[in-house]
Copies of this chain bind each other. A is one copy, B any other.
């Protein structure tokens, strides 16, 4: 039987290793030069990667930037610049529904979809850091489920705005002088709990109808939102059984929302570090781990989860982990921590630090190129996921070069990944139905 074809998105952030910049081979200046990412995007397009993806954050603490580079480009401009530098690859940015106005964001995404001729995706987040809230007049984040309630209404509003111009609104009749038929342009007159928006949008319907909606987050509220609206869902499951259970659950829940279960795709975050041989990549992993300040890793994680371990010594037994629902920040990060503590048998604070330093909580896959390809095929054949969002490690031959020059070609040779784009728009390339 022919192998199943997988989705591959490329995570274009600099690296999942916070200390990658300390490697002798990392050119720090290049990290802040758009040309670096333009070339990366063009290389990814040359091997038919479905889409580029980037996360985002709306706030940092001064100490956050001390040990690892912070983001330099904000998503609207960044993905638009990448759109102008490519012609086929999808472009999925991350925007917050908590700290944006739906009208502004609907417009930006419609514009990106027009600019890219149908390649835009919207990864929806509710923001999970108090450092973000403090840049928007608040002392801390709105309560978790409130953020998700706002997110749901937000999606309703932007969908209404995206369809406020009928697909045939453009007339452009030079004889009569009618450019747009005002009868095919509609106010939306939305009045809800969070938003009051009259509409219409200022621009024609986006080429994809609406951009591909993607979402991550495995809290109950997050899953409900995904089942209702998301077309692409990100996960970072600890094993293929967990992923399959989640995929099955999403498909059932989507069906209950009246959707075709094939209209929701699950992709697993996979951070690969690979080389021709396992010995070579293990040497690389030892080098990068030695450069990683372990306590800083832990402090970052504490800020994400709100769980404070700073008073404990490394030899202290690990206290019981908090219930993920107890945090108003990243519930998903606490879920990951639970999974790691269980699967690695962690009993002390020191072991937690060491495992964090080795990024056992992230979906790191270390191995030869063939082993990583085997792993990906195994998950897809098992029905755990529809594909992956691959983090490229870093800008070395163990990171992005290995992914684009070795891993993807290997999967193509095996028939597990396409060799060319199958559609014009991102929606078509994912095999997703047209927006209504």
Q: Is A163 an interface residue (CB 8 A)?
A: no
Min distance, Cβ A47 to any Cβ of chain B, angstroms: 21
Q: Which of A70-88 contact B (CB under 8 A)?
A: 70-74, 76-85
* Copies of this chain assembled into the complex: 2
Say yes or no: A112-B77 contact (C-beta < 8 A), given A137-B197, A196-B137, A291-B177: yes
Contact of A62 among B32, B71, B135, B185 (CB under 8 A): B185
Which of the four size classes fits the interface of chain A?
35 or more
Q: A60 interface residue, CB < 8 Å from B?
A: yes
Q: Do A115 and B172 touch (CB < 8 A)?
A: no
Closest B residue to A197 by CB, please name it. B135
Instruction: List the B residue with the shortest CB-CB distance to A114.
Output: B72
| Chain A contacts with B in 115-159, Cβ cutoff 8 A | 115, 131, 134-138
Known: A182-B66, A199-B135. A104 touches B108 (CB 8 A): no
Q: Is the CB of A60 within 8 A of B24?
A: no
B199–A76 CB distance below 8 A: no
* B residues less than 8 Å from A177 (CB atoms): 19, 22, 67, 291, 293
**A202 CB-CB contact with B under 8 Å:** yes
Q: Is the interface of A mostly helix, strand, loop or mixed?
A: loop
The segment from A95-103, A225-233, A340-348 that touches chain B is A95-103
Q: Which of B19, B67, B81, B101 contacts A99 (CB 8 A)?
A: B101
Instruction: Give Cα A194 to B65, complex, Å.
Output: 28
Q: Is A424 an interface residue (CB 8 A)?
A: no
User: With an 8 A cutoff between CB atoms, is A285 at the interface?
Assistant: no
Is A204's CB within 8 Å of the partner chain B?
A: yes
**Interface residue? A178 (CB, 8 A):** yes
Contact with B along A358-385 (1 / 0, CB 8 A): 0000000000000000000000000000
A-B contact pairs, 13 of them (CB 8 A): A38-B84, A58-B107, A62-B182, A65-B169, A65-B182, A66-B182, A77-B77, A77-B83, A77-B112, A80-B80, A84-B85, A134-B198, A177-B293
Closest 9 CB pairs of A and B: A77-B80, A134-B198, A81-B84, A65-B180, A62-B185, A103-B135, A74-B111, A76-B76, A137-B196
Q: Which residues of A are in contact with B by a Cβ distance under 8 Å?
A: 19, 21-22, 24, 28, 32, 34, 38, 57-60, 62-63, 65-74, 76-85, 99-101, 103-104, 107-108, 110-112, 114-115, 131, 134-138, 169, 172, 174, 177-182, 185-187, 195-200, 202-204, 291, 293
With A65-B180, A70-B180 already in contact, 13 other A-B pairs whose C-beta atoms are closer than 8 Å: A32-B114, A60-B202, A69-B180, A70-B203, A72-B114, A72-B203, A73-B114, A74-B110, A80-B80, A81-B81, A103-B135, A103-B136, A131-B198
